[in-house]
Structure 1
Amino acid sequence: MLINCENHWDIDKDMPDVTGKVAIVTGGNTGLGKEIVRQLAKRGAKVYMASRTESRAHGAIDELENDHPEIKSKAGIVFLQLDLTSLASCQAAAKQFLEKETRLDILINNAGIMATPYELTKDGFEMQFQSNYLGHFAFTQPLIPLLIETSKDPSTSVRIVQVSSTGHTFAKDEVSFNPDLPYSETINRDFGTPWARYGQSKLANILFAKELARRLADHRIFSSALHPGNINTELNRGTFQSYPWMKPASKLFSVFLTTPYKGAITPLYAATADEIDKNNWRGEYFDPLAKHTTPSKLAQNAQLAQDLWALSEKIVLEKYGALA
């Protein structure tokens, strides 16, 4: 897929002040997520850095506050424990947030892994599918009532952003989220390649955004998905696990990757730009840099999106015992 990387929206020039808003960024302690947290916190948002490892999160928070002393005088950054490979942790994190806050303006589901070897989580699901999508579903679903309540405030424009990838095009045409089939025939299929499994998970991100938009159509909540670009971050570790022969050439590959700052342009555009609201862009997809575009044919399949939602609800009920 060829991507038009001409930049029509600039973080420094165009990103609005977000003072008074509350945001959550998953995977916010490193790479793209950390840059997103940086920019939101600099502009006054109270940002929850949802991460698995507390020590790494606090290290990242200290670094950001040292780099930008003004963050301390604003709403600041707060650690939120979140392990996407545990559905119980995802729902517990949502509960913990709801006990602390009375609003949620921006939710950016950013955390993820890429092209890792085949493995099941302790919940019994393919690792990429749960890390990139299913954990985010289990975390997001309990937050929906608060997102709806926040959207009643006329001073805000509530955003839910799924960081997907152009890699969603790697999903096989025979992908299925039929809730009536065994998991071995749907989300736990090997597909013969780490990239096809990655594609399935990133396809799910886009379908999730579209189904959220359909279900929240009566509210001032703008759900979207995006490809942030090919970024030089820790995300590439999974690729080297699956293809060790590529690791010696990692420095060479990095020459062709963009910076986390440039990678943050598209998710921050989706999360804050006035254009999203003005154009009533709901369930839409964006490419670098902040370009409204069209995803794959599979990603536009409304029935597939509804099947995914039904399957996700079924899993959370079975594994956790409740939806919220």
Structure 2
Amino acid sequence: MAMTSSSSEEGTTKEKKKQGLGWIEWLRGWFYVVYEMLFQRIMASHLQNPMPLPPINDLTCIVTGSTSGIGLEIARQLAQSGAHVIMAVRNLERAHELIQKWQNEWSGMGLPLNIEAMELNLLSLDSVVRFAEAYNARSGPLHVLINNAGIFSIGEPQRFSKDGYEEHLQVNHLAPALLSTLLLPSLLRGSPSRIVNVNSILHQIGFVDTEDMNVTSGKRKYSSLVGYSSSKLAQIMFNSVLHKRLPVESGISVLCVSPGVVQTNVARDLPKIVQTAYHLIPYFIFDVQEGSRSTLFAATDPQVPEYCEMLKTDDWPVGPFLSQDCRPANPSEESHHIQTQYEVWEKTLEMIGLPSDAVERLLEGEEVKCRYGVRQE
């Protein structure tokens, strides 16, 4: 009888599984969003613009989404500071145009920029696998992977990739998770190395239901804001587990950064009061150069690995996170739910076609098969 009672209690617990943010959590999340919008320039007033970078001539960096926005600025500044930069992009023609433009502007100021472009379409997991295989085949080191590409399909109806996943989820979380995992052999060769994930303050209003990652069950009403914020929270949760599973001796640091509230068109999908603030106080909104600083800091500052190692040693429940002022920050309370972190980890690996022990096997030098990458587009 006792066993039956226990089973009944477990079933009741499962039925009471959290379905979304409570209204207090939701209000708190919006408070953080508005607070960052209003005070980010004051909090980051100690930073120089552009961000001065340490010597990085020996660094090889992959930057996704580097043909527009802060990704473009990140790639340009890294290249002009001496790094070997690989622009991982869908539009190769646009990337080559930018490279030519930057080379012309740089002419006479030193050695030609060491920058190239490789094709990567994050809306296709096949493309992600092929990119990773092509880069790993070079047998060279990778020192910094910057997962910058992301989408916010403002006001658009819910859309799905060819792989069957909601587009925000795939571009902002699943594809970067797959890319980060598959590039571990190259990151190991480049150790000490880093994975830098460009996140968002909007993760504060995100919620992840691992049984409804595509937001199709009807339990939550879909909007592009729901899709975007949830995907950013999923990224933090996944990387919290990756941070814990990467042994210190691997020399690979993984962290998320917030670029701040940067001048883009995303405000059109935000509540009216936030839209009004966006347009009335342009002084407080970062331009792309200012928005690139936290990512450049995370990618190059020599103290970042120490910060990551300290959190690992202290067994901190959530992975390293830097705010727009380049200081350590604590992501949302929701991101601290360890059980959900591991549920997101397992579900993500299942969705991207990797075994649950993929990280450990790749670090041991074993070959890991992914169910994507075989089919041709």
Q: What TM-score results when the alignment is normalised by the length of structure 1?
A: 0.84
Q: Which runs of 5+ in 2 are unaligned?
A: 1-31, 312-318, 355-368
Stretches of 4+ aligned residues off by more than 4 angstroms: 11-14, 238-243, 249-256
Distance 1:92 1:252 in 2: 45
Assess, with a 3 A threshold, how the Cα gap between structure 1 residues 75 and 220 changes in structure 2: closer, same or farther. Answer: farther
Structure 1 position 289, deviation (Å)? 1.6
The Cα offsets for residues 121-149 of structure 1, whole Å up to 9 and x where unpaired, read as 11111111101111111222110122123
**What is the aligned partner in structure 2 of residue 286 from structure 1?**
322
> Which AA in structure 2 matches 1:161?
V
Assess, with a 3 A threshold, how the Cα gap between structure 1 residues 32 and 101 changes in structure 2: closer, same or farther. Answer: farther
Of the three residues 171, 175, 195, the one matched with 1:160 is 195
Distance 2:63 2:101 in 1: 17
| Counterpart secondary structure, 1:16 | coil
Of the three residues 96, 99, 102, the one matched with 2:137 is 99
| Counterpart secondary structure, 1:73 | coil
**What is the aligned partner in structure 2 of residue 47 from structure 1?**
85
Structure 1 position 323, deviation (Å)? 9.0
RMSD of aligned Cα (Å): 3.0
**Is structure 2 residue 270 aligned with structure 1 residue 220?**
no
The Cα offsets for residues 103-162 of structure 1, whole Å up to 9 and x where unpaired, read as 0000000000115321111111111110111111122211012212321xxxxx311111
Distance 1:286 1:194 in 2: 25
**What is the aligned partner in structure 2 of residue 267 from structure 1?**
295
Of the three residues 181, 187, 192, the one matched with 2:214 is 187
**Is structure 2 residue 353 aligned with structure 1 residue 317?**
yes
> Which AA in structure 1 matches 2:205?
F
8 Å CA contact 2:129–2:372 kept in 1: the answer is: no
Structure-to-structure mapping, 1:232-311, within 5 angstroms: 232-233=263-264, 236=265, 240=268, 256-279=284-307, 280=309, 283-311=319-347
> Which AA in structure 2 matches 1:321?
R
8 Å CA contact 2:196–2:255 kept in 1: the answer is: yes
8 Å CA contact 1:16–1:272 kept in 2: the answer is: yes
The Cα offsets for residues 40-67 of structure 1, whole Å up to 9 and x where unpaired, read as 1112111010111111111222222223
**What is the aligned partner in structure 2 of residue 211 from structure 1?**
241
Distance 1:322 1:17 in 2: 38
The Cα offsets for residues 38-94 of structure 1, whole Å up to 9 and x where unpaired, read as 111112111010111111111222222223237882561110101101000011111
Distance 1:13 1:287 in 2: 15
Assess, with a 3 A threshold, how the Cα gap between structure 1 residues 30 and 72 changes in structure 2: closer, same or farther. Answer: farther
**What is the aligned partner in structure 2 of residue 176 from structure 1?**
209
**What is the aligned partner in structure 2 of residue 61 from structure 1?**
99
Distance 1:143 1:71 in 2: 33
Structure 1 position 15, deviation (Å)? 1.8
8 Å CA contact 2:64–2:87 kept in 1: the answer is: yes
Q: Which runs of 5+ in 1 are unaligned?
A: 152-156
8 Å CA contact 2:297–2:326 kept in 1: the answer is: yes
Structure 1 position 255, deviation (Å)? 5.8
| Matched length | 306
Assess, with a 3 A threshold, how the Cα gap between structure 1 residues 293 and 217 changes in structure 2: closer, same or farther. Answer: same
8 Å CA contact 1:44–1:71 kept in 2: the answer is: no
Q: Tell me the percent identity.
A: 29
Structure 1 position 239, deviation (Å)? 6.0
Distance 1:10 1:256 in 2: 16
**What is the aligned partner in structure 2 of residue 124 from structure 1?**
164
> Which AA in structure 1 matches 2:206?
A
| Counterpart secondary structure, 1:129 | helix
Distance 2:290 2:117 in 1: 24
Distance 2:167 2:148 in 1: 16
- Greater mean alpha carbon deviation, residues 272-281 or residues 258-267: 272-281
Larger radius of gyration: 2
**What is the aligned partner in structure 1 of residue 190 from structure 2?**
150
> Which AA in structure 1 matches 2:299?
A
Assess, with a 3 A threshold, how the Cα gap between structure 1 residues 322 and 292 changes in structure 2: closer, same or farther. Answer: same
> Which AA in structure 2 matches 1:225?
C
8 Å CA contact 1:44–1:74 kept in 2: the answer is: no
Q: What TM-score results when the alignment is normalised by the length of structure 2?
A: 0.73
Structure 1 position 9, deviation (Å)? 4.6
- Greater mean alpha carbon deviation, residues 221-230 or residues 185-194: 185-194
Assess, with a 3 A threshold, how the Cα gap between structure 1 residues 14 and 55 changes in structure 2: closer, same or farther. Answer: closer
Distance 1:208 1:294 in 2: 16
Assess, with a 3 A threshold, how the Cα gap between structure 1 residues 241 and 9 changes in structure 2: closer, same or farther. Answer: closer
